[in-house]
């Protein structure tokens, strides 16, 4: 017994010493915590809006990245945004006059940059044969969890109102506003929350955004407010709201014993009820001064609404549009005379993904080359990156120059979209984290413990080596798997317009 206890104590001491040694050696000192990762946005080339094939061809494209600053999530006069300039040489090979409406997306969802601000319009410049062109800003629905689908994305830039069999703007909607009063005579147990439950019919229904349900039936309410309101909107079918209000039941939920118990002191009455249409719901959050047109707003809500699997008890937020659900597009016309060549140049800012989990920091710039495939033909692509920094993992065809890097392709490259990982060092190191330290503790401590406990050391070491190799294969490294950085946590944000400032 003493021997077993002694071995246990020895092993415990070994692991404690290993923790101390590894943590003191591996963990950097930090004065405070700070955000270390930002997700960048994806830039893309110019493409054609609308349906049908265009005969316009691309004779050449010069894509120039000017990456001279290690820009954080915010820019300043001292550290202006880096830019990319796409210079296209378009040609009309036909005997006819042709007008095309060209579009390109920008700033998809802001992705953590300049919260609440959209003053990025001054960074964009569009010219045709050296003359600035008039452009419009369109907005489409953007689901940041989806991969970029060129055909689908372009189809969303439409001048038509989207519709479906179950999308009826004239359908009746019934609105009910319930008032919940609390005279505070009911006793709220410690560590508990207040809830109300209604016997609601199984109809298409939307609830006000303050409704937070538990177990799909209990709606969270405040215990500290004397009066509060809940709204229900049913589509196509009315409900007996007086009966529903009369049957309301209140309960407290204790987090220690996880039990609902009856709660007194509350009462419910019908405060308002009226009829409206489904169209009113679609534009419930759209304001007259919004720079999102009614057409684009309708289609954004349509896409968002149809992306949800069920509409029974959903929040009204499905009809609201946050800044992170919008992809903005610049659109402009180009008119070609027969056999005319036009040089179209678009300059736009770059918003990189930022990964401070590496030392030095790694910046990732994504640029979609595939939209060029929408033109009748495409050839002669030259990419120039002006930067004092290093590009990690250079693709085939890239060369180092005095000012940075360059590459040339007769057509679109086989590796697909362009991803530039930029760093001030050509071999950034992953910053050792607490997970690394814990991992090393078990490796070092495990080997010593195996020896002291009489476990065959060679076999145990082999096991640890195999385990380590598998773990390292799954671990992100800057050479193989420097994938897109984690998303920035986002809070709710007020609805805002999407047109950039004209200043």
Range of lowest pLDDT (32-36, 66-70, 214-218): 32-36
Burial of 37 (0-12, 13-18, 19+ CB in 10 A): middle
Q: What does the pLDDT average to over 289-311?
A: 88
- Whether 383 and 368 map to the same domain: the answer is yes
The answer as to whether 116 is a domain residue is yes
Tell me the CATH number at 100.
Answer: 2.60.40.3680
- Whether 48 and 95 map to the same domain: the answer is yes
For 51-105, give the DSSP string.
Answer: SS----EEEEEEEEEE--S---SS--SSSPPPEEEEEEEEE--SSS-EEEEEEEE
> Percent of the chain, pLDDT > 70?
68
- Whether 359 and 336 map to the same domain: the answer is yes
Closest C-alpha to 381, from 62, 28, 140: 62
- Whether 13 and 66 map to the same domain: the answer is no
The answer as to whether 187 is a domain residue is no
The answer as to whether 316 is a domain residue is no
CA atoms within 13 A of residue 405's CA, in its CB half-sphere: 22
Q: Which residue range is the domain that position 357 belongs to?
A: 37-143+326-423
Residue 229 burial (CB count, 10 A): 13
> Given this model, what pLDDT does residue 411 score?
94
- Whether 17 and 60 map to the same domain: the answer is no
Q: What does the pLDDT average to over 110-127?
A: 56
SS3 258: coil
3-state helix, strand and coil shares in percent for the chain, rounded to the nearest 5: 20, 35, 45
Closest C-alpha to 218, from 204, 199, 232, 202: 199
pLDDT bucket at 308, cuts 50 / 70 / 90: confident
pLDDT bucket at 491, cuts 50 / 70 / 90: very low
Does residue 37 carry a pLDDT above 50? no
- Whether 410 and 457 map to the same domain: the answer is no
Q: What does the pLDDT average to over 458-464?
A: 58
> Given this model, what pLDDT does residue 138 score?
87
How many distinct helices (H) and strands (E) make up the chain? Answer: 7, 30
- Whether 402 and 357 map to the same domain: the answer is yes
> Given this model, what pLDDT does residue 145 score?
78
- Whether 61 and 96 map to the same domain: the answer is yes
Give 13 or 88, the one with higher predicted confidence. 88
Give 219 or 490, the one with higher predicted confidence. 219
- Whether 21 and 54 map to the same domain: the answer is no
> Given this model, what pLDDT does residue 477 score?
40
Read off the pLDDT of residues 371-421 as tens digits, 9 standing for 90 and up.
Answer: 888 888 999 999 999 999 999 988 888 999 999 999 999 999 988 889 999
| Domain count along the chain | 2
Instruction: Give the H/E segment covering residue 120.
Output: none
> Given this model, what pLDDT does residue 216 score?
53
The pTM of the whole model exceeds 0.85: no
- Whether 27 and 56 map to the same domain: the answer is no
Whole-angstrom Cα distance, residue 420 to residue 367? 8
Range of lowest pLDDT (61-70, 285-294, 439-448): 439-448
- CA angle at 352 for the pair 296 and 502, rounded to the nearest 5°: 45
The answer as to whether 342 is a domain residue is yes
CA 137 to chain CA mean position, Å? 20
Give 17 or 249, the one with higher predicted confidence. 249
Give 156 or 324, the one with higher predicted confidence. 156
Does residue 368 carry a pLDDT above 70? yes
Highest mean pLDDT among 276-285, 287-296, 356-365, 494-503: 276-285
Give 150 or 447, the one with higher predicted confidence. 150
Highest mean pLDDT among 16-30, 326-340, 454-468, 485-499: 326-340
Q: Are 44 and 371 in contact (CB under 8 A)?
A: yes
The answer as to whether 362 is a domain residue is yes
Q: What does the pLDDT average to over 79-95?
A: 89
Whole-angstrom Cα distance, residue 482 to residue 40? 14
The answer as to whether 461 is a domain residue is yes
- Whether 137 and 44 map to the same domain: the answer is yes
- Whether 381 and 404 map to the same domain: the answer is yes
Does residue 496 carry a pLDDT above 90? no
The answer as to whether 167 is a domain residue is no
Beta carbons within 8 Å of 265's beta carbon, 6+ residues apart: 182, 183, 184, 185, 186, 250
The answer as to whether 162 is a domain residue is no
């Amino acid at each position: 017994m003493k021997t077993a206890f002694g071995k246990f104590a020895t092993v415990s001491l070994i692991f404690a010493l290993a923790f101390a040694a590894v943590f003191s050696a591996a963990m950097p000192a930090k004065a405070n915590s700070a955000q270390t990762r930002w997700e960048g946005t994806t830039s893309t080339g110019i493409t054609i809006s609308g349906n049908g094939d265009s005969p316009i061809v691309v004779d050449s494209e010069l894509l120039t990245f000017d990456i001279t600053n290690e820009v954080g999530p915010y820019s300043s006069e001292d550290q202006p945004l880096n830019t990319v300039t796409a210079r296209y040489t378009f040609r009309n090979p036909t005997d006819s006059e042709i007008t095309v409406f060209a579009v390109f997306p920008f700033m998809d969802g802001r992705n953590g940059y300049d919260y609440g601000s959209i003053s990025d319009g001054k960074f964009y410049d569009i010219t045709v044969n050296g003359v600035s062109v008039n452009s419009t800003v369109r907005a489409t629905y953007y689901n940041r969890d989806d991969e970029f689908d060129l055909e689908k994305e372009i189809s969303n830039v439409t001048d038509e109102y989207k519709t479906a069999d179950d999308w009826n703007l004239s359908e009746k909607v019934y609105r009910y506003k319930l008032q919940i009063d609390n005279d505070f005579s009911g006793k709220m147990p410690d560590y508990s929350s207040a809830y109300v439950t209604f016997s609601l019919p199984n109809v298409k229904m939307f609830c006000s955004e303050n409704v937070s349900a538990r177990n799909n039936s209990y709606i969270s309410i405040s215990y500290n407010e004397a009066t509060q309101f809940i709204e229900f909107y049913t589509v196509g079918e009315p409900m007996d709201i007086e009966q529903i209000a009369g049957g309301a039941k209140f309960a407290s939920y204790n987090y220690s014993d996880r039990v609902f118990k009856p709660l007194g002191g509350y009462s419910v009455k019908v405060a308002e009820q009226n009829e409206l249409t489904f169209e009113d719901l679609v534009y419930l959050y759209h304001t007259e001064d919004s720079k999102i047109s009614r057409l684009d707003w309708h289609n954004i809500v349509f896409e968002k609404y149809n992306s949800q699997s069920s509409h029974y008890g959903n929040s009204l937020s499905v009809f609201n549009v946050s800044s992170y659900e919008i992809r903005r597009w610049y659109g402009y016309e180009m008119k070609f005379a027969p056999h005319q060549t036009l040089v179209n140049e678009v300059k736009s800012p770059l918003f990189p993904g930022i990964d401070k989990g590496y030392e030095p920091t790694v910046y990732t710039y994504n640029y979609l080359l595939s939209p060029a495939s929408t033109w009748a033909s495409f050839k002669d692509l030259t990419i120039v990156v002006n930067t004092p920094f290093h590009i990690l993992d250079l693709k085939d065809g890239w060369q180092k120059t005095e000012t940075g890097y360059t590459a040339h392709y007769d057509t679109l490259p086989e590796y697909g979209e362009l991803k530039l990982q930029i760093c001030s060092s050509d071999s950034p190191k992953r910053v050792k984290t607490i997970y690394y330290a814990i991992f090393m503790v078990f490796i070092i401590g495990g080997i010593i413990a195996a020896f002291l406990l009489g476990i065959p050391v060679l076999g145990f070491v082999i096991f640890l080596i195999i385990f380590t190799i598998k773990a390292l294969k799954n671990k992100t490294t800057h050479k193989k798997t420097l994938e897109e950085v984690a998303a920035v946590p986002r809070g709710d944000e007020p609805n805002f317009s999407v047109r950039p400032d004209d200043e």
